Amino acid sequence: MDQSLVNSGFDIELLIGGRYIAYMLLSFSETGALPLKVPTDIGLVDVFQPDDVDRLYEPHPDAIPLTASADSFKTELIFGHPSGANVRVDVEVFTRNEFISAFASFALIHDTDSQGNQTNHRLRIEVLAIELTPGLLGLLIASGSTLDKMLEQVKDQVDRDVPLPFIGAGSDVASVAFRQLPSLDGGPVAIGVYLNLRLRNGGNPTDFLPDRGTSSPG
């Protein structure tokens, strides 16, 4: 690793793109945390998975959905959405070419111990707004339901805290920070992940380097 490329002052810099987030969401469906059939006011809705998933393992046959589409679970990191969302996920549902677009917030949260150290790091996922394609919206209106009610149904299935057990007490990572990075030279938007390692500051086994680095622009 060329350490000269790390210019934030942190020990490690990583970039996460939309594809990474899409795979994280897909993993929820394969473990049963995100159902592939969701009851709503317009009936039982099938959630389509993409048909181009690159797995490094053989999934259980029951985890592979009957409905698949190359257009489902397309994920884009965004700036400036009125809801405050930083991620948009388009999920194909119900029938071909009908989508729920979920505008969500991905944020890093943690607790702080009595010594001021970060502990219990989690990735908080929260859906803040949704949009429906015209066909789905027409079915929703015909059912007598509302977009706000469907948003609550989506939030009930998706909103969660995802533990990050590799960070915190007893690990080699002392602290972590997030920053959303704009597109450079036409490339994709990304989320920057900045980590500090638990590095000794001398021979004392309890003496570590202080927190360092900044994830702020500049």
Domain ranges of the chain: 13-53+62-163
Q: For 27-45, what is each residue's pLDDT tens digit? A: 887 777 777 788 788 777 8
User: CB of 94 within 8 A of CB of 206?
Assistant: no
Nearest-CA neighbor of 171 among 201, 199, 213? Answer: 199
On whether the pTM is more than 0.75, the answer is: yes
Handedness of CA 197, 203, 207, 213 (dihedral sign): negative
Highest mean pLDDT among 10-14, 146-150, 170-174, 204-208: 146-150
Answer with the residue of higher pLDDT: 178 or 133.
133
With a cut of 50, say whether residue 1 has pLDDT above it: no
In this prediction, residue 149 carries a pLDDT of 92
The predicted-structure confidence for 190-206, as pLDDT tens digits, reads as follows 888 888 887 777 777 77
Residue 74 or 10, more confident:
74
Cβ-contact 35, 47 below 8 angstroms: yes
pLDDT at 218: 45
Q: Tell me, what's the pLDDT at 42? A: 79
Q: Is 147 helix (H, G, I), strand (E, B) or coil?
A: helix
**Rg of the chain (C-alpha set):** 20
Q: pLDDT (tens digit, 9 = 90+) per residue, 103-160?
A: 999 888 888 777 666 777 788 999 999 999 999 999 999 999 999 999 998 898 889 9
pLDDT digits (tens, 9 = 90+) for 39-95: 788 777 888 888 777 766 676 666 555 567 778 889 999 988 999 999 999 999 888
Distances from the Cα of 123 to the Cαs of 18, 21, 105, 107, in angstroms? Answer: 15, 11, 10, 6
- Dist. CA 64–CA 67, nearest whole Å: 9
170 versus 209: which is more confidently predicted?
209
Output the CA angle 148-149-152, nearest 5 degrees. 90
The closest alpha carbon to 194, from 208, 214, 210, 209, belongs to 214
